[in-house]
Amino acid sequence: MEYQRTVADKVIFEGEGIYSGKEIRVEIHPLGENEGIVFERSDLPHRPRIKLSLKNAIALEGAVLLTDGTHEITLIEHLLSALHGLQIDNALIRVFGEEIPLLDGSTLLIVRKIQESGYRLLPAARRKYLLRKPFSMENGVGRIKFKPSSRLMIHATINFDHPVIGLQSLDFTATPRDYINEISFARTFGFKRILEERKRQGIIKGGNLSNAIVLDEEKVLNKEGLRSKDEFVRHKILDIVGDLFTIGYPLVAEIRADMSGHKLHLDALKTMYEAGYLEEVESRALTFLWVPKRKRSPI
């Protein structure tokens, strides 16, 4: 049996919200079996909670928002990617603000914090969605195809008319070890002219070169450069892993994504779910990666 798991202890990270410009604290707390991923607006008087589900997820331009119709939390996709990538099935996410901090634009810090906490196995089989029929969707810019599979595999392609990016493709088979080593370090990226325009319009109030890869027309502006030549497509896979988790359980399928974005990902998931293409199952294969809680060195 492949058991559900949660974090072994409270995980805390903080950072500036790029939309609000405010310093925001996020806490990840353990939850019991079959509780799922639950977000809480801990900065509000009644601490409203929002369960992670497709019906509560909305794709924005460059982000995913979770809402119960009254309260909302923006930029959840990177945190979801870390939880999905590390196979965390149950957790309470306490957010002291209206968005998840972008941090360095990757999930590396969140992954390291969760590794420091360790994982706790729970006495219940993991629940997953199996894809029963092939499905494809496109939106004029991007395309995404889903095929039945025995494990989650993602092939992503991006193509930007920029000398640093160009055409990039990567294959990824989802395991915690490969997520940690191959995907978690990849940062989001943006173009200087677009970011400056959004700041002028007041769409974003925070953010700087420490939160993303920023490019002008010719080069990367970050002094440290890239973490890998194909960091851009690796981050695309990071986003896909996060967006897939909006369905609430891991999805088992083979996916080919070509210039896809958050809206296409969520539209495809909602269409497949409503059309009955997905079957909920309990996992019986023992394939989890055990990461023990690390001992801290004395100060």
**Predicted local distance difference test score (pLDDT) of residue 283:** 78
To the query of whether residue 29 is one of the catalytic residues in this protein, the response is no
* pLDDT 10s digits, 116-175: 999 999 999 999 999 999 999 999 889 999 999 999 999 999 999 999 999 999 999 999
**Predicted local distance difference test score (pLDDT) of residue 284:** 66
Q: How far apart are the C-alpha atoms of 13 and 11, rounded to whole Å?
A: 7
Backbone angles phi, psi at 54, to 5 degrees: -60, -40
Radius of gyration of the chain (CA): 18
* pLDDT 10s digits, 162-216: 999 999 999 999 999 999 999 999 999 999 999 999 999 988 998 889 999 999 9
pTM of the model: 0.93
Angle CA 260–263–264, to nearest 5: 45
Could you say which of 84, 235, 262, 265 is catalytic?
262
Phi-psi region of 105 (alpha: psi -120 to 50; beta: other; left: phi over 0): left
Task: For the chain, list the domains and their CATH numbers.
Answer: 3-282 (3.30.1700.10)
